[in-house]
Structure 1
Amino acid sequence: MTTTELQRAYRQKDVQFHHGKLVDMFCKDHDEVCCPACIAINHRACVNVDYLPDVAKGIQKSAELSDTRQALENVLTKMKQEQEIKTSKLTTLHHEKEKLSEEIENFKNELIKKIEELAETSKQQISSKYEDIRKDEQSALDTLGTAISTTKTNLQKLSSKNESQLFVNVKRSKLSINDCETLLREQTTGKKTERLKFVLNREMKENLTSMGFVVTAEDVKEYRAILYGRYKINPTRCEITSICTMDDGTYVIADYTDLQITRLDGNFGVRDHIKVSGNPFSVCRVGPKEVASLPYGINKIQFVSIGRRMELKTEFNVGSSAVGVSYDAAQDSLFVCHSNQVSIYTKSGVLLRTYEKNENGDRLFTSANQLALNVSSHIMFVTDENGKLTALSKDGKVIWTFSDSELRRPWGVCVLPGDIILASGMGSKNVLQIDKDGRKFGELLGASEQLKNPYALAFDRKHSKLLIGSSSNEIHVYTLSRK
């Protein structure tokens, strides 16, 4: 049978050909299938060479086939995960580029606006100065005009033929001459010629010419809180374990007791709610009209649409004992606190990475509770059941760890403008404020506020208000200001 005939005969059997020859040999020494040409050239010294039909018997039911299939599936899964990670990185990179471009555009507009304001102020100053000089010069000109007219008249009167009248005119002219000389001295002696002049701020011009980017550091000042109001969410006791603010001025809370996600209007009144699969421990905003909820016990992230009405959408599984979820808009990913680690997932549920151990191999957390992100510095702050607040970089490096006798069982955490971190203590029933270097400023809210198990902290940047959820039927709302 010719090679062409062999190919035609084996075409339906999915058998490969190499060098135009049928691949019907197997070298056990090299674990490689080959054709007679390869055997003659590359495997002539090999001892364990058999025909493929002989060694292939029973392959369909062999452990090798099962193991190979499982290995292929595993490597395919890993490649798909890596593909998602790379895609996520590209998305993050694009978002960062767009964000920086927007910041630069806003900065440019602010500079243009400021320069326009300065230019308009300068024009007004010039107009005001011009009017002052004009009035002075016009007054002097009018006075000179009157004096000139008087002098001309006196000069004409000196031509009179009547000696008596002429005598009087001479005497009056002498007095007029003295007045005119006095006027001239006043107009010319000790007076500088006033001019309009625009003095360019060359330092500002040089700065604008040379600068590439301007970073202004906000003075670090601690906050003070004034009670704005307490708002009932439920007639009976309920545990409000998480709060997030929405773009439209509404608020979404996790009502752990009643197994529901509740929406509040801008005046903190209950607008509507939706039941979820378990007791929601955490909720975070993941879009203009969407939140992610983490019901305790079922270990799933559930997405809820927040439109004209609330609707449950998709969900995906996470690890056991998950209690906290936060959203990173720059990376378009979810940070989940569960057990002794923090995990990052895409919104489709692909696990990107975990933060579990430090550089020395020691566990980072005893039981991670809640997490807040500082978008500008790319730092995360994680409260832990062991009484600590840990600051981590995006690459998992521990920046600092905070613990204090005034903060017992830290739970809620949020970031304020100026890189001030707030942390609530379940055991100490208070809220501490900590600076970006992990140093305590002091107690923002203490025992006198009667915060019962303050689970949730949320900051409304638009209205500069702090919202606190706890084991009561109320939300405590405070107005924050710098000292």
Structure 2
Amino acid sequence: MKWPLSKKMETSLLTCVIHTSEQITMYCADHSQLCCSICFELNHRLCLQVTPLPQAARGKSTNFKNLSVRTENTLSQMKQCQTYQEDRMMSLKVSYKEHERLIVDGLRVNIVSYLRECETSTVNTTHEHMQYPISEMREGIKNLLADFEKSTIKEKKEELNLKQAPLKVLRNSCIRLHYELFHLHVAIPKVLGKPELSFIASKKCLENIQQSDIFIKENFSNHVFTVNGKSVHNVKIPSDSYTCQIKAVCALPNGQVLVADCYNDKVKLLNQQYQVVSHLDVRDEPWDMCLITPTEVAVAMDYEVQFITVSQSQLAKGRKLKLQYEGTGIAHNQGDLYICFGTALYKFTLSDKLVSWLYGDTSADLTVYKCAVSPTGDRLYIIGRYRQHKLLTLARDGTLLATFTDITLLRPLGLHVTPAGQVLVCGHLSNTVLQVGWKGESKLATLATQEDGVWWPASVCYSSTTSSIIVGQWGDDNILVFRVE
């Protein structure tokens, strides 16, 4: 990061993304696009606001701090999406290996059983007459088994490759987008004193972020999870005075998990095996929690937001954001904080500045209890408590887009949107964990019920690192971990 801008990076910045043999010389404000001479001739000759690059860059200033935060968040999302695809590929591979083994083992058992029957049935037959036929049969079956193993493995590998192929394409696209954006992220601080390069870098960075957002939305948000395993983990520690109430769960990119224990006023850090390795006492009941960076979370408490950092499996308190009202839910996206105050949703900056009021419902208490935001930031999701048996979907400006209700979603308390855009919500009274479509209009799957051990669920979170859905419960010392594909 401290090295000066390389000539190679400078050349890369100045090169047109579409026509790689041309340099950027103009900017079209009508389309918000950087242009080379070929771009201009083909697509922008009729545009009214095309200016030479030096003129376009003159006097323009970019909030590089906000751009840096947006870039880091997008990089994190792309990395999580890459990990998500790699996990799916590995899961397929393991599944096929196990399937191959079972088929071959089953055939082997049947053949051995058949041979034993043959030998038993010929026990009274003259030994010298049967010895050669049985030996010949055994040798022939061994050859047949070897050929079967080879052909089966070959067929299964071909089938596996076919199923993994689209996942590899998505994984490689994640890697490419991450690579391009990362190098722009590194270049930006090095060009702050160079107006034209700074202008180009910021525009390219924004374009790359938009491409990444579209890619995530189009390729990941419609995948329906399938549960293929469950485990139960106790998160109670000796210093707890009461039974745990896990109102929020937050998965870190390194596989660790944070849980907010409301009854005991604690935030607890779990390792990759879901064992408590550190905890932090907080002043008030922690209502909700969201990821800010890969090592920092924001915890919503009664009248403040407490920032907490994770370093070397230890928790440390950071700055605080004072609130005028009791915060019940919190979400973060690209430098914006969305905070629920029971009956209203507001947007803040990370630096404590109120941006806007987005949504409100004063018809009852806790109608705006928790919120979540899509990876691209264009959709907000809200759940209420008590008699509010529904999930609301809002546009970026707070406009109501959809209302989802279902008999399997009674008093939703847990809400989460994965890095890939899947929407998870759990019904406290219906004892369910559901996946809802990203448009917020329909149920895609019931992932877990009371039969799976779900009892009064209060929080839900997905870890792309471990391909698991983690459920925290009301008045229960255990969390549930469902492995999914």
Which whole-Å CA distance do the structure 1 matches of 2:75 and 2:480 have between them? 38
> What are the within-5 Å matches in structure 2 for residues 166-185 of structure 1?
none
Matched, 1:473 2:474: no
Q: Distance in 2 between matches of 1:442 and 1:306?
A: 34
Q: Which residue of 1 aligns with 2:255?
A: 249
Superposed displacement of residue 442, structure 1: 3.4
- Asked if the contact 1:368–1:382 (Cα under 8 Å) also holds between the matched residues in 2, the reply is yes
The answer to whether structure 1 residue 464 and structure 2 residue 467 are counterparts is: yes
Per the TM alignment, residue 423 of structure 1 is displaced from its structure 2 partner at its CA by: 0.8
AA aligned opposite 1:467? I
How do 1:40-79 residues align onto structure 2 when only pairs under 5 Å count?
none
Q: 2:336 is matched with which residue?
A: 333
- Flag the structure with larger Rg: 1
Give the deviation of 1:357 after TM superposition: 4.6
1: CA distance, partners of 2:77 / 2:256: 26
What corresponds to 2:371 in structure 1? 371
**SS in structure 2 of the partner of residue 266 of structure 1:** coil
Q: CA deviation at 1:407?
A: 0.6
Alpha carbons 2:375, 2:421 under 8 Å: kept: no
Tell me how far 1:243 sits from its aligned partner: 0.9
Specify the SS of the correspondent of 2:451: helix
Q: Which residue of 2 aligns with 1:276?
A: 282
- Once the two structures are superposed, residues 321-364 of structure 1 have per-residue CA deviations (whole angstroms, 9 ceiling, x without a partner) of 32111121x1x121111121111222232211121259xxx989
Give per-residue Cα distances to partners, 1:445-477, cap 9 Å, x unaligned: 112123222111111012211011112101100
**Aligned partner (choices 305, 324, 332) of residue 301 of structure 1:** 305
Change (3 A) 1:89 1:391: farther
| C-alpha separation in 1, matches of 2:465 and 2:393 | 26
2:413 corresponds to: 411
Q: Partners in 2 of 1:429 and 1:394 — Cα distance?
A: 30
5+ unaligned residues in a row in structure 2: which ranges? 1-60, 82-207
Q: Report the Cα offset of residue 400 of structure 1.
A: 0.8
Report whether the alignment pairs 1:425 with 2:427: yes
Tell me the distance in 2 between the aligned counterparts of 1:272 and 1:479: 24
Give per-residue Cα distances to partners, 1:205-251, cap 9 Å, x unaligned. Answer: xxxxxxx9795645945322133310001166210111111233211
Relative distance call for 1:439 and 1:291 in structure 2 (3 A) is same
**2:455 aligns to what?**
452
- 1:343 paired to 2:346: yes
Give the aligned partner of residue 231 of structure 2.
Answer: 229
Q: 1:406, 1:393 → 2: CA distance?
A: 25
Q: Match for residue 321 of structure 2?
A: 316
- Aligned CA distance change for structure 1 residues 435 and 238 (closer, same or farther; 3 Å): same
Contact 2:470 2:479 in 1 (8 A): yes
Tell me the percent identity.
19
CA-atom RMSD in angstroms: 3.4
Contact residue 357 and residue 364 of structure 1 kept, 8 A: no
Taking a change above 3 Å as real, the CA distance of residues 321 and 377 of structure 1, as seen in their structure-2 partners, is: closer
Report if aligned partners of 1:231, 1:269 keep a CA contact under 8 Å in 2.
yes
Aligned to 1:262: 268
| Partner-residue secondary structure (3-state), 1:322 | coil
Matched, 1:392 2:397: no
Structure 1 residues 97 and 421: CA distance shift in structure 2, 3 A: closer
Q: Does the Cα contact within 8 Å between 1:338 and 1:367 map onto a contact in 2?
A: no
Partners in 2 of 1:88 and 1:405 — Cα distance? 49
CA contact (8 A) 2:431 2:455 kept: yes
Q: CA deviation at 1:319?
A: 3.5
Equivalent residue number for residue 108 of structure 2: none
Deviations 1:53-83 (A, max 9, x none): xxxxxxxxxxxxxxxxxxxxxxxxxxxxxxx
Helix, strand or coil at the partner of 2:263: coil
Larger RCO of the pair (alpha carbons < 8 Å, separation 6+): 2
Moved over 6 A (4+): 87-90, 97-105, 362-365
Partner deviation per Cα, 1:413-458 (whole Å, 9 max, x = no partner): 1224664311101111111221123111232111212322211111
C-alpha change, 1:364 and 1:374, in structure 2 (3 Å) is: farther
CA contact (8 A) 2:268 2:280 kept: yes
Q: CA deviation at 1:98?
A: 7.8
What SS does the corresponding residue of 1:448 show, helix, strand or coil? helix
SS in 2 for 1:368: coil
Aligned equivalents of 2:478 and 2:419: distance in 1?
A: 26
Q: Return the letter of the residue paired with 2:298.
A: A
Q: Deviations over 1:395-420 (max 9, x none)?
A: 11212111112211112112246643
Show the counterpart of 2:382: 382
The amino acid across from 1:379 in the alignment is R
Written as runs of structure 1 = structure 2, the 5 A alignment for 1:33-44 is none
Deviation at residue 313 of structure 1 after TM alignment: 2.1
Structure 2: distance between partners of 1:448 and 1:307? 38
Q: Deviations over 1:351-397 (max 9, x none)?
A: 11121259xxx989962122121113621111122222111121112
* Alignment-derived partner of residue 141 in structure 1: none
Q: Decide whether the 8 Å contact of 2:329 with 2:371 is kept in 1.
A: yes
